[in-house]
Amino acid sequence: MKIAFFSTKSYDRESFLKHASDFGHEFSFLEPQLNRQTVALAEGHQAICTFVNDPLEANTLKKLSEMGIGLIALRCAGYNQVDLETAKSLGIRVVRVPAYSPEAVAEHAFALILTLSRKTHKAYNRVRENNFSLEGLTGVNIFGKTIGVIGTGAIGRAFCRIALGFGCKVLAYDVVESEEMKQLGVNYISLQEVLSKSHIISLHCPLTPETKHIINRETLAHMQDGIALINTSRGALIDTKAVIKALKTKKLGYLGIDVYEQEEHIFFKNLSEEILEDEQISRLMTFPNVLITGHQAFLTREALDQIAGTTLRNISEYEQGKALTNEIKWK
């Protein structure tokens, strides 16, 4: 099959070309994001492959359908960027990569916690300027802290195992409780209890209408003063304005995010020579207790290898008329 890959970077090309000979597909790697202006680039292909910030809205889907595109292969787990109802009405099938090295994201979330708690990012910059002073670098122990985990899917469970290994008490909230986690010592309680009893909260739930802005003015009010908040899941889980206010009032002691509500206009781009027009993320970057990475948590060799392999198997299943193992079903 001829597949148009949108929003591709060098690491995408390397990982997919590594598996190319095993599947026999023809690849067109395109740097632009998929949108109304770039959808014409899909002409002449049978399928497209997109990433988290490619908006698959109704108008774009209709144009894809007119071109004969019958399959959208998401090289990611989340699918909130897809208008599934329109895709179904047009007969376009949508597949995804439901799990790829959950440890990659979980480890990155804990890296944010460790960096913020011990201020190693600040120490690194100081030492490069021959400043070996320890003033202002006093940190806090992770051992013995209570960590709240919201969402215990594959990534959330991997995160829980790491937290338990650090000697933390782990509280969790999920609509589906994991018996495996319970046996390891994770205590499932209500969302409000998780918010009020935790020193650190890490978000690992999908973005749905129910979870959008799950961290907002009201839920922040339930938290302890000085709490650390970590988000490596989806940006819109957090109401950014409410979080900025919580940082200003010191309700939030630390914030570590790898995702951002308006990231599609910023992340995966080199904007070093431009003026950043997004006022909210610009404001966040002024806080000394905020650490932002640009949707980097997934980016390990192991994860990229699994994403490429699963995506190409998804496409081959479609080409061969088989049942689609990882198809997203619209209810």
Active site (catalytic) residues: 234, 263, 295
Question: β-strands 227-231, 200-203: how paired?
Answer: parallel
Task: Report the C-alpha gap between 208 and 79 in whole angstroms.
Answer: 10
Cβ atoms of 77 and 101 within 8 Å: the answer is: no
